[in-house]
Structure 1
C-alpha cells in the first residue's frame, strides 16, 4: 500500500480513509450535476424556508436540481416561489409510517445527477454548503461527506427573514445547544480522517452527500425502516463496510430547527427501539452485543473444497470456523454430500447456497476456504481483526504455492469493486489502496487436513 491516490480521469481513489490526500483538488471548480434531495412530511413553513436557503446557494444553477419527496402528507407541499431559479420536482410516496430512507431512495431514483446531496426539510444550508458537500464526492467517488449541523429555534421566522440571516444581511435566530458528543467524535477522529467501524455514529443524513456510484453500489437506504431514527447510521455503516471514505467538512454548515435528540423529552424508549433495530442491521460487535445471534452475520465464509474432500474434513473445517467466530454465516456448495448436509443443516448459521448480495454488503469480513483445514480459534480471530480498518485488505494463507484460505475486509472488496468498474485492475487496486499480505499456515494458526480425520477425536478437542 502507498500513500498516493490512484487516478481515473478526474477522479481519485485514496488509500484507506485518507481524504486529506485530495484536499487541494477538492477546492477546484467542478461541473458535476447535483441533486438536492429533501424528504418532506407536513412541514410547509420549513420547506418555504428551505427554498429561501437554496436560493442563496452559490452553486451554478445549471448544475443543480431539487427533489422534494412527500412522505404521504395530507396536504401537498407548497411549491417554490416564482423567483426560485433551481429546477424542482415533487414526488410522493404513500404514508406507511416514518420512511425518510425510502423517500431518499425515491428521490435518488427520480434524478440522474452525479452527486446526491441530502438535506432534511427543517435543516437549512448556508450559501456555500451544497457546493462544499458536492465537491468531495465529485473528486472522490467513494466519499461519504457530512457537514456540520447547528441547532436553532426558527419559530415564527418567515422565509424572507431566514434569507436575510443566511446571507448575513439580517439578525439570526436563537441558538439551541449543539450536541457535545457529535463534536467530540469529530475532534477525536480528526474530522473522520481516523475513522473506524464505529464512526458511522458521526454521519447524519440531515446534511450529507455522496456519489451516485457509491449510493447505487450499496443499495441506497434501508427502505424497510418505518420508524424514526437510525436509517442514516445504518446507511453510513454499510457504506463504510463497503469502502466509503468518511469525511466531515465543518465548513458545510446547516441549521436544524429542532433540539438535538438527547434534549427532547421522552426519547429513551424510542431510542432503545432504534438501538434494537440497529443491532439487527449493523454487525459491529459493540453495536449489537455479543450474545444474541442475528440473521445478518458479521463474517461470511464461502467454502468450496476440492473433489475428494471427506465428510470428516468438511465437518472439522466447519466446526473450527464456528468455534472461532460465533457471529458467522457459512455458505457451502449446492452439491454438498447429502449425509453431511443432514448433520449440519440444523445450525442456522450454515447454508447450502451462495451468500446473498444484501448480506455481503452488510458483513465486515469475507473468508474464502479453498482446502480442508482446522483453524485455531484465537488465531482465526486475530487474522480477522488484522483486516479491520487500516490493516491489509486481504490476507492469504498459502503453503508451497497452494492457497488454503483468504480473509478479506468487505471495506476493501467494495472499493476495489467500484474501482474495477472504472477500469482499475482489482489486484492493483487492492495492493495500492489497502495492501495484500501472505501468511504461512503455521503463522496463521491453520492446520491443513490431509486424508481422513479422526472425527471423534477432533470434536473432543484432540488432534485431527
Structure 2
C-alpha cells in the first residue's frame, strides 16, 4: 500500500508511552545470525504501510543558515507527518536558534539545559523530550532526500534490534545557496540529488568498510564502527538499553555509543537506497590530526577493542577487555595461585578477576590459625586483596554490558600468560559467540568447564527469548560455538612472555640474512649471464 499522509496539522497519533506504542510492541524479532540481515525482506519505498512513530532529534550549535535548509528538507519527507516529530536541541547557541517558516509539522525547539554541553548531551536531551518509537539522530548540517526517513524506518518495522545508518555525501557549502524554499520544492519533487554538483561531492570513509563487507553482512564484531554521527536510527528501547550517549564526551561520543549498542546484540544495517547532502566538511576532515589526538584517550578508555589501545602497552583501562570468573570455594591457595598468577601478569592485563567463594563466613573471632576450616580461603583473600583488578564475591556478578568477553575458568588449571589474548583472538577469528575448551583434566561441561562468552551474543540470545537452559544453543544459532584444544591456552608457557625483544632481534637478523643471500644470488646470476656463450644465451632466451 502506498504511503498516505493526510497532512492534518496536529493530527499526529501519539504513542502510549516512549517505546511502548502498540506498533512498537508488535515489532517482530527475527533471528539474525551475526550481522547478516539479508533474511529481512525490506519493502519498496512508497509501497508499504508504516505504523511506528519516529523522533528526529537534531543537536545544533549555531549555523542557523544550515539548520534552515535541514528543516526545509525534513518538511518534505515521504514519511507521514502524523508519525513523525522533529526535536531541535539548541546546545547553547549565541544568538539562540529559532525555527524558520519552512519546517516540518510537529517540530519543537528546546535547549539542552543544565548538566552538560556538546552533541552527545544534546542528543540525550532531545531523545528524552521525544515520544517516538524510533529515534533518528540527524546532524544540523544534513540535508535529507525525500525518502531518507522512510527508507530507514522500513527496517525498524522488521526487527527492533537494528541500528540503521543513513547514506550521505559531503559537498561544499555557500550560505544562501540554495535557499530554504528551493530546497523544500526540490525535495518535495524528489529532486534533492540536483541541489548540488555530484562531481564536487566527497564520500565518507565508512563506505570502504561497507563495500568490502557486502553491505556489512560479512562484517566482524567491529561492524559498529560505521554507526557514527550524521544520520542513524534505532528503536527507543535499544537506545535506552545501551544507556544513551555518554554526555561527558564532547567529541567521540558517537563512536563510544555505537560500541555499547553493539554490546546489546544489535545488527548494523547501512541503508543505501536514499541519501543526503552533508553541508560542508566535518571537523575530522578539516582538523583530522588534532581531532584524532583529542578523541583517542577518551574512546580508548571506554572501548576495549579500539584499534590503538593495544599499541599503548600493558595497562589497566576504565573498561576491561575481559571479566574472568574463578570459583575458589573449594580451592587451595596453590590452585588459586596456579590459575590467577598467569592471568594477572599475562599479555592482556586489562582484565578483572571475580573470585567466587563464601567470603562472608571468614570471621575474625579467635581460632587456631593453622587448623581453621576455611584456611585456604583466608589465604587466597590475603594473597590477592592488594590487586585492584580482583574482587571477592559470593556468586558470579551480573554481566557487565560494556565488557566484550566473560571467561569462566576453573581453579587449579594452569593458563599460559597469553591465554586471554589467544582465546579471545580465536573468538574474533571465527566470529564465535561462545568458545569452549576440551583438554585433559578440564571438564567439558558444567560449572567447572572453561568457556569464553561474547557479551553481545548472549545479549541477543536473551533478547530473542532464550532462557538459561537453552542459552548456549541460542548463541550457537546466532553467532556460532567454537571448540578448541588446550594448546597455547593451558599448560607450560611455550616461551617467556617477556622475550619479545630477543625474538624481534632474531627475526630482524634472519630477514637481513635472507636479503643478503638474495643480493648474492642476484649478483651471481648477472655475472653468469654476462659470461655465457652467445649461442647458449640465445637458446636459454628461447
TM score, norm. by length of structure 2? 0.72
Partner of 2:34: 16
How many corresponding residue pairs? 434
Once the two structures are superposed, the pairs formed by residues 235-274 of structure 1 within 5 Å of their partners are: 235-261=257-283, 263-264=285-286, 266-274=287-295
In the TM superposition, residue 31 of structure 1 has moved relative to its aligned partner by 0.9
The reply on whether 1:365 has 2:405 as its aligned counterpart is yes
Which secondary structure does the structure 2 equivalent of 1:376 belong to? coil
The reply on whether 1:64 has 2:94 as its aligned counterpart is no
Q: Going by fraction, where is strand more abundant, 1 or 2? A: 1
- Separation in 2 of the partners of 1:25 and 1:11? 17
Judging changes above 3 Å, is the alpha-carbon distance between structure 1 residues 221 and 424 closer, same or farther for their aligned structure 2 residues?
farther
Judging changes above 3 Å, is the alpha-carbon distance between structure 1 residues 417 and 73 closer, same or farther for their aligned structure 2 residues?
farther
The reply on whether 1:51 has 2:71 as its aligned counterpart is yes
Judging changes above 3 Å, is the alpha-carbon distance between structure 1 residues 422 and 101 closer, same or farther for their aligned structure 2 residues?
farther
Which secondary structure does the structure 2 equivalent of 1:404 belong to? coil
Q: Of 276, 286, 303, which aligns to 2:297? A: 276
CA deviations over 1:371-413 (Å, ceiling 9, x no partner): 4422234555332223227533113446275432321111202
Partner of 2:369: none
- Separation in 1 of the partners of 2:66 and 2:474? 45
Which deviates further from its counterpart, 84-93 or 142-151?
84-93
Once the two structures are superposed, the pairs formed by residues 24-35 of structure 1 within 5 Å of their partners are: 24=42, 28-35=48-55
- Separation in 1 of the partners of 2:266 and 2:43? 18
CA deviations over 1:40-96 (Å, ceiling 9, x no partner): 122322222222111110011221111122212234431253x75531233322377
Which deviates further from its counterpart, 248-257 or 370-379?
370-379
Unaligned runs of 5+ in 2: 1-25, 360-376, 492-542
Partner of 2:459: 414
CA deviations over 1:277-296 (Å, ceiling 9, x no partner): 21111111523134142121
Partner of 2:182: 161
- Separation in 1 of the partners of 2:72 and 2:319? 43
The reply on whether 1:302 has 2:321 as its aligned counterpart is no
Q: Of 443, 446, 449, which aligns to 1:399? A: 443
CA deviations over 1:111-162 (Å, ceiling 9, x no partner): 3322111100111111101111122233122211111111221421321122
Q: Of 209, 215, 236, which aligns to 1:185? A: 209
The reply on whether 1:217 has 2:235 as its aligned counterpart is no
- Separation in 2 of the partners of 1:85 and 1:111? 15
TM score, norm. by length of structure 1? 0.83
Higher CA-based Rg: 2
Partner of 1:431: 476
Judging changes above 3 Å, is the alpha-carbon distance between structure 1 residues 106 and 263 closer, same or farther for their aligned structure 2 residues?
closer
Indicate the RMSD between aligned Cα atoms, in angstroms.
Answer: 3.2
Partner of 1:128: 147
The reply on whether 1:203 has 2:227 as its aligned counterpart is yes
- Separation in 2 of the partners of 1:44 and 1:334? 60
In the TM superposition, residue 32 of structure 1 has moved relative to its aligned partner by 1.2
Contact 1:147 1:251 (8 Å CA) reproduced: no
Partner of 2:355: 332
Work out which structure has the larger RCO, using CA pairs closer than 8 Å and 6 or more positions apart in sequence: 1
- Separation in 2 of the partners of 1:422 and 1:162? 52
Contact 2:116 2:247 (8 Å CA) reproduced: no
